[in-house]
Amino acid sequence: AQSVTQLGSHVSVSEGALVLLRCNYSSSVPPYLFWYVQYPNQGLQLLLKYTSAATLVKGINGFEAEFKKSETSFHLTKPSAHMSDAAEYFCAVSDPNTGGFKTIFGAGTRLFVKA
Amino acid sequence: GAVVSQHPSRVICKSGTSVKIECRSLDFQATTMFWYRQFPKQSLMLMATSNEGSKATYEQGVEKDKFLINHASLTLSTLTVTSAHPEDSSFYICSARKTGDLGGEQYFGPGTRLTVT
């Protein structure tokens, strides 16, 4: 069975500081990995995804994530936080052997950005 | 492209009544759609997988007679909460996968806030 763990339910950074949101996965095979962002009372928006191509994945809004098989991690980073980045972030995993059919979401990390 | 809509965005109903929520893929075909439930400050809980033209697959613990799912076309899935009770109040989110897409990406609707009084 696959699972994903997000370390830290809340992360607070100052505007302009580095953003680092941690995600570790458990899977018997390299999975498809995703980061989604959710603003209050809205659905989820895809930030980026890893599907066994380049290990460093660049997404929208300046975010990127690096797939590290040895650490079973897929941490999300952004060099400089902006106030508009304040939101809930979800890491998710899918099994490519099923065509990415069912996706398991982490518990989420709420990002706070201080002025 | 890849826009998913949900209707209504917000609904209040009385206990014992039924509520239907629609999920539409506006600019692509979606053989598979998913229904999630999200409690305040929590993650998404997958309720069921909806496949066009066939019965939905429900996750363990989800009552299929209470949460009726119909996926009659490649662009529309509906979730009907039957005999709603206050504990069914929640944020319901649907997502859709593009037919033939093996990349695993889901496109999410904006969600429906259900309040049962």
Q: Would you say how long chain A is, in residues?
A: 115
Q: Does B61 touch chain A (CB under 8 A)?
A: no
Shortest CA gap B77–chain A (Å)? 16
- The predicted pLDDT at position B53 comes to 84
pLDDT exceeds cutoff 70 at B93: yes
Q: Which one of A103, A111, A112 would you mutate to disrupt binding with B, by most B Cβ within 10 Å of its Cβ?
A: A103
pLDDT exceeds cutoff 70 at B72: yes
Cβ burial A9-43 (10 Å sphere, 16+ → b, else e): eebebeeeeebebbbbbebeeebbbbbbbbeeebb
Mean of all residue pLDDT scores within chain B: 92
pLDDT exceeds cutoff 70 at A99: no
Reduce the DSSP state of residue A61 to 3 states and report it: helix
Per-residue pLDDT tens digits for A26-84: 987 778 899 999 998 888 999 999 987 788 999 999 999 999 989 999 999 999 999 99
Nearest CA in chain A to B49: A102
Runs of H (alpha helix) within B1-117: none
More confident site: A27 or A100 = A27
pLDDT exceeds cutoff 70 at B43: yes
What is chain A's alpha carbon radius of gyration, rounded to the nearest angstrom?
A: 14
Cβ B114 vs Cβ B92: under 8 Å: yes
Instruction: Write the residue in B46, B102, B105 that is nearest to A49 by C-beta.
Output: B105
Shortest CA gap A16–chain B (Å)? 26
Could you tell me the pLDDT band of residue B96, with boundaries at 50, 70 and 90?
very high
**How far is the C-alpha of A6 from the C-alpha of B97, rounded, in Å?**
24
Could you tell me the pLDDT band of residue B27, with boundaries at 50, 70 and 90?
very high
Phi, psi of A96 (to 5 degrees): -65, -20
- CB spacing of A90 vs B111 below 8 angstroms: no
Number of C-beta neighbours around residue B111 at 10 A: 22
